[in-house]
């Protein structure tokens, strides 16, 4: 989901940049028979783009902060733990890159033309949200309840147990197969290696083994996971 949102934001950024260049440099728009400075509904176009980007950023932020808030209630989970240090470093790196791109986008759009203030402000708001997420990196957690598995950091992964038919492990990914051919995944590196066996024991305890099958994969890169699978 995070990749789709970022791809959409980049697409909108490229489109907005083209419009901003035409408006900022007053370039001729042949098929409209005008120049950028006299583009019809210029204010409305930039306002609409700004609102669209802001809605995407807002939805993304709400989902993240709700996830952080939920996993912070540790007493409501059967098993919970902060995400692994390796995962945390990777998340902070990605957030830093996203922040740099958004700040650059906001500044450049406004420099091209002040008319682009709305989309520029929306991208800067997204950058601010990323900075806040970096500051609360200590709050990134994995939580296992009787109904679902939740991972909350840069993105929020929620895997419900309703309709679950199979759990399989391959290398650094855990696959959850549901009815109607639905398959969801979560990265195993969210969990510290020394706690993975404990995690799988807690996960197994929450599931109905008569309905959910744990498969044993032949090869994996993690010795800990191999031991866990053997135990399952």
pLDDT interval class at 232 (50, 70, 90):
very low
pTM for this model (two decimals)? 0.84
Positive or negative: CA dihedral 167, 169, 172, 175: negative
Nearest-angstrom CA–CA distance, 138 and 81 = 11
- State the residue for tokens 């419009």: 19
* pLDDT value at 27 more than 60: yes
Could you read off the pLDDT of 34-53 as tens digits, one per residue? Answer: 888 889 999 999 999 999 99
Query: At 40, is the secondary structure helix, strand, or coil?
Result: coil
* pLDDT value at 87 more than 90: yes
Q: Which is more confidently placed, 2 or 159?
A: 159
Please give the class, per CATH, of domain 161-231: alpha beta
**Given this model, what pLDDT does residue 30 score?**
85
- E-strand spans in the chain? 28-29, 34-35, 79-82, 141-144, 148-152, 156-160, 164-170, 173-178, 183-187, 213-214
Percent of the chain with pLDDT over 90: 71
């Amino acid at each position: 989901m995070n990749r789709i949102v970022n791809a959409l934001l980049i697409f909108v950024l490229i489109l907005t940049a083209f419009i901003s260049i035409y408006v900022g440099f007053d370039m001729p728009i042949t098929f409209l028979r005008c120049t950028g400075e006299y583009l019809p509904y210029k204010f409305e176009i930039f306002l609409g783009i700004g609102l669209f980007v802001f809605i995407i950023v807002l939805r993304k932020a709400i989902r993240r902060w709700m996830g952080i808030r939920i996993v912070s209630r540790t007493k409501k989970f059967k098993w919970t733990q902060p995400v692994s240090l390796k995962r945390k470093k990777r998340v902070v790196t990605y957030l830093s890159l996203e922040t740099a791109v958004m700040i650059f986008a906001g500044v450049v759009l406004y420099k091209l033309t002040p008319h682009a203030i709305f989309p520029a402000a929306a991208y800067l708001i997204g950058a601010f949200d990323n900075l806040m997420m970096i500051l609360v990196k200590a709050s990134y957690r994995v939580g296992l309840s009787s109904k679902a598995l939740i991972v909350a950091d840069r993105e929020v992964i929620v895997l419900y147990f309703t309709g679950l038919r199979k759990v399989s492990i391959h290398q650094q990914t855990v696959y959850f197969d549901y009815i109607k051919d639905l398959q969801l995944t979560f990265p195993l590196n969210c969990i510290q290696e020394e706690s993975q066996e404990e995690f799988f024991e807690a996960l197994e305890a929450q599931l109905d083994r008569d309905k959910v099958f744990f498969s044993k994969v032949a090869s994996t890169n993690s010795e800990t996971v191999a031991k866990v699978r053997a135990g399952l």
